[in-house]
Chain A
Amino acid sequence: MTSRSQRRLGRSIALHLFLTPLALVWLFPLWMMVVFSTMPDNGIFSPGIELLPHDNFLDNVANLQRDTNFIGAIGISVSVAVTYTVLSVLLTSMAGWALARYEFHGKGAVVAIIFGTITLPYAVVLIPQFIMVARDFGLANTWIALIVPPLFNSLGVLFMRQAFSMMPAELFDAARVEGVKEWRIFLFVALPLARPMLAALAIILFLASWNNYLWPLLINSQPGAMTAPVALGTLIGLTKVSWGGIMAGAVMLTVPMLIVFVLLQRHFIAGIAAGAVK
């Protein structure tokens, strides 16, 4: 028996000896992001090795704000991500509800088209979307351009369809017998029951919008209309910018999401595990 528990202990030590360095390597870029964001530029570009935070963060934020209106861009990013998340959760859960709970003409076709096109790369729709939104509708550099086109994302539909179809039919039939209207059943019976799935979906959609880069880069390229990642991206590669400032911006984009991740880890992981991203 002793030899068995000794083997267990040996295995446990080996496991931690392997996993700890790997975890430290994985944390290193995030840690350095924080360290850089607290260092003055002449500290970042000095020959010494600095691995601990300094106290220059607020100065760096000021430098960043001098290089680009980052606070304004954060405001746009937050508003867009919140609006997008609410609209997308609503649209995709309504569609998911219809596909899970009703029999109707064309249902098979709708499902087939969603599944059949889901693995097509986003790059395929980029150019027509741009031509349509910028030229045909004249909506470049507006909030609508940032919020509405990405609403096509169909993974929410499949996610919510799955969630609603797992609920027992009796729940809804009882309400129907009492003459409750379908939209009230959806709003007041089905949605509350789907709360964990809605939370997972909302987090994933919010994160996708918050971090979205390519589409906002193309469609909202004017300084006053940029989202925070786009505004930060314009500084990378320029010569006369504060790298401490860029890192402070990276921290402002990342740390709130890390906090949300830690607080709502369960929902995050549920959302990703269900393939609700991309």
Chain B
Amino acid sequence: MRTQNATAYRFLTPYLLVFAIFWIWPIISSFLISFQATRTVPWRFAPTFNWGRLVGDPAFYNALKNTLLILVIQVPVMIALAIVMAVLLNSPLLKARGLYRFAFFAPVVVGEVAYSAVFRLMFSLDFGIINKLLESVGLEKIDWFSNVTPAMAVIMIAVTWRWAGYNAIIILAGLQSIPEDVYEAATLDRVSKLKQFFYITLPLLKPVIVFCAVLSIIGTMQLFTEPFLITERGGPGGGTETLGLLLYRQGFRSLNFGYASAVAYTMAGLAIAITLVQLWLTREPK
């Protein structure tokens, strides 16, 4: 085929301009900013100013620890739940499929602010419906937002509620691309449904599940709105502060762009590492 440079770039240029200005340049720029002291005018180059502070900052380790804790617990639980939802929604035995799909997929369209408000109200100490229900079955009410562990639990529950169905949609699409005759053969050979799930479904779904896991990890790593709104700026006492919230606090409350950029690049480093793990996990066998 002959090259069509002029035509191609006429179609491509409008997007490329936006992409370069608001994505590529900022990626480079925030890397450079992380090596500058930004609270002096003019900014000055000081390579260890922010990064040196970062490695010795208890607030950073606290946010990193909280973020990783949420990741390690919430993502596997959510992915497992999403697999269960997808497999069961795909069952030919299911009646009123549309209603169940609506129940699990509806949270996908709910905005972060709206659902944060609802979860905050549902889990409030004295008048929250969750505590009222706990008490009505004879259990003690829980002070969800004054203690770190229950506050973290609320965040994980909220995120899981919001995103499990989203992952189930992707996994369901993966399931539907598995050819029927694989299962027919297994059924003829009297392989139980449970065994079919572990020995046929799961291995064939592996790339989709890894994709979902990576997407979820990168999303959860940037968690901001939930600790910002549900647990009131990462409370109690920084107990639910995440890297996303630390970045917001440093960058946009203290206007410390240099330090916030170092935090942002820490997140980028984690994302790159996770993406490499994904590529390794889903590599084509030689």
Contact = CB atoms under 8 A, between A and B. Distances in A.
B190 interface: no
Most chain-B CB neighbours within 10 Å: which of A149, A211, A251, A278?
Answer: A211
A170 interface: no
A36 interface: yes
Contacts of A236: 113, 116-117, 120, 229
B113 A154 contact: no
A113 B15 CA distance: 13
Interface string B1-15: 111110111111011
A195 interface: no
B30 A233 contact: no
A54 B18 CA distance: 48
A45 B14 contact: no
What secondary structure prevails in chain A residues at the interface with B?
helix
Contacts of A172: none
B120 A95 contact: no
Nearest to A14: B93
Given A19-B88, A229-B114, A152 B16 contact: no
Contacts of A91: 14-15, 18
B26 interface: yes
B199 interface: no
B133 A113 contact: no
Interface residues of A, number: 96
Nearest to B230: A236
A186 B95 CA distance: 43
A66 interface: no
Interface string B245-277: 001100110000100110111011001101100
Q: Lowest 10 CB-CB distances: which A-B pairs, in order?
A: A211-B111, A125-B26, A128-B26, A23-B103, A273-B173, A250-B114, A95-B15, A104-B8, A98-B11, A128-B29
17 contacts: A12-B93, A26-B107, A26-B161, A29-B118, A29-B161, A94-B15, A95-B14, A117-B24, A123-B263, A124-B268, A127-B33, A128-B29, A150-B22, A152-B18, A214-B224, A261-B108, A275-B211
Interface of A: 8, 11-12, 15-16, 18-19, 22-24, 26-27, 29-30, 32-33, 36, 44-49, 91-92, 94-95, 97-99, 102-105, 107, 110, 113-114, 117, 119-132, 148-152, 154, 157, 182-183, 186, 207, 210-211, 213-214, 218, 229-230, 232-233, 236-237, 243, 246-247, 249-251, 253-254, 257-258, 260-262, 265, 268-269, 272-273, 275, 277-278
Interface of B: 1-5, 7-12, 14-16, 18-19, 21-27, 29-30, 33, 85, 88, 91, 93-95, 99-122, 126-127, 129, 132-133, 136, 161, 165-166, 169-170, 172-173, 193, 211, 214-215, 218-219, 221-222, 224-225, 229, 232, 243-244, 247-248, 251-252, 257, 260-261, 263-265, 267-268, 271-272, 274-275
